[in-house]
Structure 1
């Protein structure tokens, strides 16, 4: 049975060096990922750590932050991909490095060597000892530990992200985020084997994807950041598609105010994955939900 208590809890000092152990997910190949991300009534709900789960002492889009989450709960890590001046893919949400690092200026105006000299800041703006990771080192670290949903920022070519996934053999642990049926079709045409997160908030959204020959078996659905429309989630579940609910913002605030059991209510009402800025609190609530219903997966240690 899945339990947060089965995973190590580490202090900040234990995480100053990113480790290469802590196997969480058991995917032999991408077919296992398809099976795991196909809806069934016995599916195990998961948290998706928005921007990797930043906290005090742990910056967004940092390997050390990802490791902190992975040690505590099976998780999806949502991270953001930007492109440097010399065409290196790095993790960065903003167009500039001002907010999250000790540097200044646009990411695309810096070489990777220049970015390597910067330090990341945590959510309070305090400087940490952590650095900006590349996409490839992130994917290499994450195999077996997490599932990545990769948010590809503007001006980053999809084919470069796909090449990074291929180079690191991370197909079984990677999902590419798209925001329109056209984007999803581009990704599927470039890499028919990869999983795609698509924005699906209505029947029409699903039909548009079907019209562009993006198969249901390659999709997880982002259903928005407000209470789930049960008709939509029921339809998606009939197609075998898991639903990601973005609790970032208002729904996270509701959980903080009304009690973290609200996260389990979101699952009960049709969500399967919660994209949250409070991943550890949400995971604790989902752990109780999982235990109560005796849910498990052969793909989770």
Structure 2
């Protein structure tokens, strides 16, 4: 029996609210992310950077009409067109279950109400996800464990750990589901980054680094630069000084085009800024306009060829 069938059965058993096994109906990636043994996400990003190739990060899974934020169906739909890195958000229910959901409350993205942290998983599993246009879909709030299982051999993940969630629990879930090779745990404070680093010496870390003091503090604390991908923040314009500092440390850099730059691109129709950011040596561009950025970058790079080469054993 093929792995995809086994995974489908496992998801169906663990999530009884679903009408049918997820992977029985999901598309496969155009180019699957099967990370070579012993490698982690920053290794792949360094390889891509050295091939002058920038990955797009699909914010909240690459949502769009009919595809709500953070749904497994949305992740699969996104990757069916091309290779991106997938960013998702982690919350924790009242009974300690890690789920994939952005907001601390349910109203905006589901048919439910109330705080995620005050509801049991059984209650949340009965809700339906709502897309950005307010359309109710048949999709459900996924467990982090389900996404980690689905993503094996398919996707590179950035796990954005929300402030109310103990980062150690997310690190433990990554290790438990043998997802170390394809998952990076996101943290924004030095304290959380050091806690994540201490929780498991192998798990990749996506850490906000916008100054030399933060970088030096991480290295002084014993965090190996090889396990870090740096988040250089969300800015209205490129920040080449930060990127150069991180390149000097051989740390792959992600930059947020969210809000400011994405809005300007939407208003003007000029997407050339994404190529300008990539030309600055950035390994990942996080954006809500993921296909606009992806298609723009196609004029400067062969993403498929580089991705395939960097995932070769």
Same fold by TM-score greater than 0.5: yes
Conservation of the 8 A alpha-carbon contact between 1:24 and 1:300: no
Q: Among residues 42, 46, 53, which one is paired with 1:38 in the alignment?
A: 46
Unaligned stretches of 5+ residues in structure 1: 1-14
* 1:151 partner SS: strand
* 2:184 partner SS: strand
Unaligned stretches of 5+ residues in structure 2: 1-22
5 Å matches for 1:1-301?
A: 17-19=25-27, 24-31=32-39, 33-38=41-46, 40-226=49-235, 227-256=237-266, 257-291=268-302, 295=306, 297-300=308-311
CA drift of 1:297 comes to 4.8
CA drift of 1:143 comes to 1.3
CA-based RMSD: 2.1
Spell out, residue by residue over 1:160-193, the C-alpha distance to the aligned partner (whole angstroms, 9 max, x if none).
2122212221111100001122211111111111
The whole-number CA distance in structure 2 between the counterparts of 1:300 and 1:193 is: 19
The whole-number CA distance in structure 1 between the counterparts of 2:263 and 2:24 is: 31
Conservation of the 8 A alpha-carbon contact between 1:120 and 1:127: yes
The whole-number CA distance in structure 2 between the counterparts of 1:21 and 1:202 is: 36
Give the 3 Å change call, closer, same or farther, for CA 295–82 of structure 1 in structure 2: closer
CA drift of 1:155 comes to 2.5
Spell out, residue by residue over 1:130-182, the C-alpha distance to the aligned partner (whole angstroms, 9 max, x if none).
10000000011011221111111123122221222122211111000011222
CA drift of 1:105 comes to 0.7
Runs of 4+ in structure 1 over 3 Å off: 19-23, 294-297
Match of 1:5 in 2: none
CA drift of 1:22 comes to 5.5
Bigger mean CA offset, 26-35 vs 148-157: 26-35
The whole-number CA distance in structure 2 between the counterparts of 1:299 and 1:221 is: 19
* 2:277 partner SS: helix
Conservation of the 8 A alpha-carbon contact between 1:119 and 1:131: yes
Q: Across the two proteins, how many residue pairs are aligned to each other?
A: 286
The whole-number CA distance in structure 1 between the counterparts of 2:193 and 2:40 is: 21
The whole-number CA distance in structure 2 between the counterparts of 1:177 and 1:138 is: 16
CA drift of 1:33 comes to 3.5
The whole-number CA distance in structure 1 between the counterparts of 2:139 and 2:212 is: 43
TM-score under structure 1 length normalisation = 0.88
Spell out, residue by residue over 1:210-238, the C-alpha distance to the aligned partner (whole angstroms, 9 max, x if none).
22222211111111112232222112112
TM-score under structure 2 length normalisation = 0.85
